[in-house]
């Protein structure tokens, strides 16, 4: 994978894991549309090399007319209408480092990546809605309720080799929230992001957006593959090693509302005239990020970020924001951010109320400590 990291990623990527390669950009590179070289990378195994001229994917299982579909067919606008949509992808491990600092436990994810605020990014993805592809295949059979995606990459877990595989409920496809994409921000998908074709599932955990797609299998129940059944499970905060089993975790799908401060960063010394400028992102997998608030005293008093300081609204993308926060006090101060979405969902105040055994979905208010010189 290193060859692709050098070729396709920015020099200042933070390498979170060497192999499988996992990396995130420094926070300041999280722009409204994230540049491809700055987009975080989450891999379970290696990066497969695929010849696009020989490439096809299969649609099979509980579908009326199983088919093999090549890239040329998918790009043929007389068969499939093309769609271009701005979508954020967020790994459920985003900001895991805060849970590790709270209490690392000894769950499976301990061997996993200690992500910061950068395991999320936003791109304009171009491709074809999976709904059109399923329609082309005659539609689902009556008991076809889940769509299982297979990647060309293999990975190892506990001595066994697997192909990457995950599934999403068919209703997600029916509402046009699953895209098969070959372009990322107007460029062919970089190899490291799934060339030649990947799935983009809007509003869901990044794990469902299968890269290097080889097969779509329509099934009656969620995928039995280990990534679906044994990873990306959320346990209640009371559960620990005495009582955690795969069957009592629930599968993470829609991402909750969350946000983060991108600048300044923790421990910065800020010399100012009564105002400190903050930038950040805010995202909700189930709706629109409507309101962002910043606190200058650890979550007591909240200031609303004016709407004109929030970037454009896209249904399945974050909004980046900036805010000049009033600050009178001097010395070490704790600032934090929270977002509200259009269903009035907001974030837990402290990381301990979001803590869970596998250290997923750190959606509590993001905090930075700054030294204020006024």
Query: Which residue in 110, 230, 220 sits closest to 169, CA to CA?
Result: 220
Return phi, psi of residue 3, to 5°.
Answer: -55, -45
Residue 91 structure tokens: 């790994």
From 24-32, 125-133, 206-214, 286-294, span contacting ligand MTE (CB under 6 A): 206-214
Q: Is 181 in the site for ligand MTE (CB under 6 A)?
A: no
**Interatomic CA distance for residues 239 and 232, integer angstroms:** 15
Return the residue of 212, 281, 335, 355 that touches ligand MTE, per CB under 6 A.
Answer: 212
* Distance in angstroms between the alpha carbons of the first and the last residue of the chain: 47
Asked if 334 contacts 300 with a C-beta cutoff of 8 angstroms, the reply is no
Q: Give CA 280 to chain center in angstroms.
A: 16
Q: Give CA 141 to chain center in angstroms.
A: 31
Return phi, psi of residue 266, to 5°.
Answer: -45, 135
**Interatomic CA distance for residues 125 and 34, integer angstroms:** 12
> Minimal distance in Å, beta carbon 121 to ligand MTE?
6
Q: Is 91 in the site for ligand MTE (CB under 6 A)?
A: yes
Q: Is 50 in the site for ligand MTE (CB under 6 A)?
A: no
Q: Is 206 in the site for ligand MTE (CB under 6 A)?
A: yes
Q: Are strands 275-283 and 319-326 parallel, antiparallel or unpaired?
A: antiparallel
Judged by beta carbon, residue 296 or residue 362, the one nearer Mo ion is 362
> Minimal distance in Å, beta carbon 149 to ligand MTE?
8
Task: Give every strand in the sheet of 67-70, ordered side by side.
Answer: 67-70, 56-61, 213-219, 146-157, 160-169
> Minimal distance in Å, beta carbon 360 to ligand MTE?
11
> Minimal distance in Å, beta carbon 192 to ligand MTE?
7
Paired residues of 86 in beta bridges: 124
From 40-48, 127-135, 172-180, 339-347, span contacting ligand MTE (CB under 6 A): 40-48
**Interatomic CA distance for residues 271 and 353, integer angstroms:** 33
Neighbour tally for 246: CB within 10 Å: 12
Q: Is 45 in the site for Mo ion (CB under 5 A)?
A: no
Judged by beta carbon, residue 163 or residue 309, the one nearer ligand MTE is 163
DSSP state, 136? H
* Total residues at interface with ligand MTE (CB under 6 A): 18
Q: Is 29 in the site for ligand MTE (CB under 6 A)?
A: no
Query: Which residue in 123, 111, 89, 31 sits closest to 320, CA to CA?
Result: 31
From 36-44, 248-256, 304-312, 327-335, span contacting ligand MTE (CB under 6 A): 36-44
Q: Is 207 in the site for Mo ion (CB under 5 A)?
A: yes
Q: Is 42 in the site for Mo ion (CB under 5 A)?
A: yes
Return the residue of 27, 29, 42, 131 that touches ligand MTE, per CB under 6 A.
Answer: 42
Binding mask 331-370 for Mo ion (x = CB under 5 A): ----------------------------------------
> Minimal distance in Å, beta carbon 50 to ligand MTE?
11
Selection from ligand MTE, Mo ion, none that 89 binds (CB < 5 to 8 A by kind) is ligand MTE
Which secondary structure element, helix H or strand E, spans residue 4, and what is its range? helix 2-8
Q: Is 223 in the site for ligand MTE (CB under 6 A)?
A: no
Site for Mo ion in 74-93 (CB under 5 A): 91
Asked if 52 contacts 281 with a C-beta cutoff of 8 angstroms, the reply is no
Judged by beta carbon, residue 206 or residue 285, the one nearer Mo ion is 206
Asked if 238 contacts 163 with a C-beta cutoff of 8 angstroms, the reply is no
Please give the residue ranges that form the binding site for ligand MTE (CB under 6 A): 39-44, 89, 91, 151, 153, 164, 193, 206-207, 209-212
Please give the residue ranges that form the binding site for Mo ion (CB under 5 A): 42, 91, 206-207
């Amino acid at each position: 994978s290193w060859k692709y990291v050098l070729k396709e990623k920015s020099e200042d990527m933070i390498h979170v894991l060497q192999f499988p390669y996992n990396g995130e950009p420094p926070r300041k590179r999280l722009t409204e549309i994230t540049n491809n070289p700055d987009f975080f990378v989450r891999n379970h195994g290696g990066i497969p090399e695929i010849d696009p001229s020989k490439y096809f994917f299969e649609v099979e299982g509980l579908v009326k007319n199983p088919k093999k579909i090549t890239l040329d067919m998918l790009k043929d606008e007389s068969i499939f209408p093309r769609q271009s949509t701005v979508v954020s992808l967020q790994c459920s491990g985003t900001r895991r480092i805060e849970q590790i600092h709270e209490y690392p436990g000894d769950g499976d994810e301990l061997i996993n990546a200690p992500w910061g605020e950068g395991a999320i990014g936003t791109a304009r993805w171009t491709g074809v809605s999976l709904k059109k592809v399923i329609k082309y295949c005659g539609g689902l059979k009556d008991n076809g309720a889940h769509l299982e995606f297979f990647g060309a990459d293999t990975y190892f877990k506990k001595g066994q080799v697997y192909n990457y595989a995950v599934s999403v409920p068919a209703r997600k496809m029916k509402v046009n929230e699953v895209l098969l994409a070959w372009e990322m921000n107007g460029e062919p998908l970089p190899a490291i992001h799934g060339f030649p074709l990947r799935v983009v599932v809007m509003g869901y955990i990044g794990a469902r957006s299968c890269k290097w797609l080889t097969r779509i299998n329509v099934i009656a129940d969620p995928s039995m593959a280990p990534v679906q059944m044994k990873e990306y499970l959320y346990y209640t905060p009371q559960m620990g090693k005495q009582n955690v089993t795969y069957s009592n975790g629930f599968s993470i799908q829609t991402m909750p509302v969350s946000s983060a401060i991108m600048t300044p960063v923790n421990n910065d010394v800020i010399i100012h005239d009564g105002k400190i400028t903050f930038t950040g992102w805010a995202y909700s997998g189930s709706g629109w990020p409507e309101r962002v608030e910043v606190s200058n005293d650890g979550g007591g008093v909240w200031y609303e970020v004016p709407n004109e300081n929030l970037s454009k609204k896209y249904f399945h993308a974050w909004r980046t924001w900036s805010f000049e926060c009033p600050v009178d006090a001097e010395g070490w101060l704790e600032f934090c951010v929270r977002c509200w979405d259009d269903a009035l969902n907001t974030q837990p105040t402290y990381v301990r109320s979001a803590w869970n055994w596998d250290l997923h979905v750190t959606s509590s208010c993001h905090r930075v400590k700054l030294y204020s010189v006024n």
